[in-house]
Amino acid sequence: MRTLAQSARDLATGTSSRSLVEDCLARILDMAGEGRRAFLKVHVDQARAAADYIDTLRRHGAAPSRFAGIPISVKDLFDIAGDVTTAGSVALRDAPAATRDATAVARIRAAGLIPIGRTNMTEFAFSGVGLNPHYDTPRNPYDRATGRMSGGSSSGAAVSVTDGMAVGALGTDTGGSCRIPAAVCGIVGFKPTAKRIPTDGVLPLSFTLDSVGPLAPTVACCAALDAIMAGEEPNDLTPWRLDGLRLAAPQTMVLDDMDSTVAGVYAGALSRLSQAGVKIVDMPLIELDDIAALNRHGGFAAAEAYAWHHNLIETKGALYDPRVLVRIMRGKNQDATQYIELIRGRADLIRRVAATSIQFDAMIMPTVPIVAPSLASLEAEEKFRTVNLLTLRNTTIVNVLDRCAISIPCHRHGDAPVGLMLVGEHGSDCQLFSIGAAVEQIVSPEPGKT
């Protein structure tokens, strides 16, 4: 995989943006169907024209940023002017085209990055598995012969980066949708504090939990894309000092039902970090057990998704993926009392966890407790539900607590991908990137390689 930094250096030393775009387009077209599964629309002509324009600007010393001319994929949840935002659904195929870019997309464009296409996803972003019966399901680049899940909901985003179809990707994260695909595909995925990046122009799943985040080969790549989308100047990332870094390792719930591969890789990562001087403290954090009770009526996602979808369901509900529809319909039965209790219960949980975690620099845990299962095994409804809940379990914690988190590959090159998740305090996004960059050097000895 090519990183943003490598691409920026190549552009600065004479490589053309057009050649980067053509390389990505060739990969999309030459992947024996994977490009079709990963992308719902490819902006061939627009990307080439934008690359030629950036090349002209660079020749005159007028490129808008050092990343100008780098191709980026965009999840099919973002508005792009002139495109219909279908959110991985056939129910919105006849919707009007967007008249303006989502703010995150507009900021990416302003920095000169080039949206190369719209990536496939779980319909309406409502699953951590990544299946899409309407447009086919992107296959995990690891063990493609078996055909494994690529995670959701930003499935096509992760595959586009891992397969070199784009240098980075714009995704969303409501319960893990950036971090889960990144973890099971072997790249980095970041979920910011929710208010950090505007969500206007992004089709909502949950107004309360939605966030916009990047998927990319390295922590530094994600930091640069995050800064751009947050309206900040991307700066060189300085890794945190490992000697003295204090990480809390929660024991409640997050280690349950780990498969042997994840358990072994996670233990090895903790050992390497300890040897490098990191202080890792096991922490019970029994408060996490309260999350299940908070969400017993469907949580924010079901209630707020139903509020957005109910009119569309009345006319086009038969077009929905049944696995998505049943989750949305849980919100129909939530009443105002339950919703208000959910709001108050979440605020109380946030306060109680913060009082315990504030003494540490970050928390650490497995991103996903299992390696990617085969798609064939998910055809049974019961198996799908079990895997979906297990896949989302650890990542959802961060959205409920309104924090930032990053998933970093910690497996050996060539093995089944495993993600290590670092969780920062609310608003500590920049600090978490520095911590992530330091941890990446220890647990991912070859960043950018799967």
Catalytic residues: 75, 153, 177
Neighbours of 289 (CB within 10 A): 11
Pair of tokens at residue 104? 């995150």
Is residue 140 within 8 Å of residue 152, measured between CB atoms? Answer: no
CB 338 within 8 A of CB 297: yes
DSSP H/E element including 213: strand 212-216
Q: Where are the beta strands (DSSP E) in 396-436?
A: 405-409, 419-423
**CA–CA gap between residue 432 and residue 361 (Å, rounded):** 8
* Antiparallel, parallel or unpaired: β 114-119 and 39-42: antiparallel
Give residue 99's identity as a one-letter amino acid code: T
Task: Match 């990307």 to its residue by tokens.
Answer: 47
Task: Give the separation between CA 152 and CA 366, rounded to whole angstroms.
Answer: 17
Evaluated on CA atoms 136, 141, 255, 294, the torsion sign reads negative
Helices (H), 148-251: 155-162, 179-185, 219-229
Collapsed DSSP state (helix, strand, coil) of residue 126: coil
- Tokens representing residue 214 in the block: 């990047």
Q: How many residues does the chain have?
A: 450
List of E strands, 97-196? 114-119, 168-172, 188-191
Q: Is 277 left (phi over 0), alpha (psi -120 to 50) or beta?
A: left
Residue 85 dihedral angles phi and psi, to the nearest 5° = -90, 100
Strand 405-409 and strand 419-423: pairing?
A: antiparallel
- Would you call 186 helix, strand, or coil by DSSP? coil
CA distance 238 to 242: 12
- Helices 219-229 + 429-443 axis angle, to 10: 160
